[in-house]
Chain A
Amino acid sequence: EAGVVQSPRYKIIEKKQPVAFWCNPISGHNTLYWYLQNLGQGPELLIRYENEEAVDDSQLPKDRFSAERLKGVDSTLKIQPAELGDSAVYLCASSITTDTGELFFGEGSRLTVL
């Protein structure tokens, strides 16, 4: 069974440029998460979807970040314009909605903003 698939794995852009990350969750997982992970830190939640609905986006910087999950499957996370401080790993995870919420993570997309 395929795991969570993310692309691209690596992206280098100049500041003020836009960037987008794509995530394909495990089939049948209706909950999808985007996390940000800085070097030496734990993942920090940006947004969580239940099917198509964003149920927790309180930590998403909405002035420059946006996300969507059309048809309740794949998701994209966009940053426009990117800033130097956005350099980090962006992790996508999915889970079956249960009361314990074990997460399955993708390999992440490493963003470097120059």
Chain B
Amino acid sequence: SQKIEQNSEALNIQEGKTATLTCNYTNYSPAYLQWYRQDPGRGPVFLLLIRENEKEKRKERLKVTFDTTLKQSLFHITASQPADSATYLCALETGTASKLTFGTGTRLQVTL
């Protein structure tokens, strides 16, 4: 069966450390993968996109990697701040014409 898995348990890290979130998938061959941030009571907000032929993408303190052999994407936030606390969702292109399928999300909590 097709699955997109993110760590369902919350990730707690200390301010200033690097947070690493994982997105694993099976039985998909996505042309690209996106990461979104979602705050409580709000809609998801787009952060980064990475294509299948790209190994790594960076944007300010964010870095995404995409390993199509391992079927895994890693999302890193360096120098984490309490304001980074949110749920982070990965989304895969899973069909024709840009269909996106979302993972379950991982909640990140950054403490002082």
Binding site for B on A (CB under 8 A): 4, 31, 35, 40-45, 48, 50, 55-56, 91, 93, 95, 97-108
Contact = CB atoms under 8 A, between A and B. Distances in A.
Contact of A100 (B45, B98, B101): B98
Q: Interface size for chain B: under 10, 10 to 19, 20 to 34, or 35 or more residues?
A: 20 to 34
B104 A4 contact: no
Contact of B32 (A44, A91, A100): A100
Interface of B: 4, 6, 8, 31-32, 34, 36, 41-46, 49, 51, 89, 91, 93, 95, 97-105
28 contacts: A31-B98, A35-B102, A40-B105, A41-B104, A41-B105, A42-B6, A42-B89, A42-B91, A42-B102, A42-B103, A42-B105, A43-B44, A43-B102, A45-B99, A55-B97, A91-B43, A91-B44, A97-B98, A98-B98, A99-B98, A100-B34, A100-B98, A101-B93, A102-B49, A103-B34, A103-B100, A105-B45, A107-B41
Given A41-B104, A45-B101, A100-B98, A105 B44 contact: yes
Given A99-B31, A100-B98, A108-B43, 6 more contacts: A45-B101, A55-B97, A91-B43, A101-B93, A103-B34, A103-B36
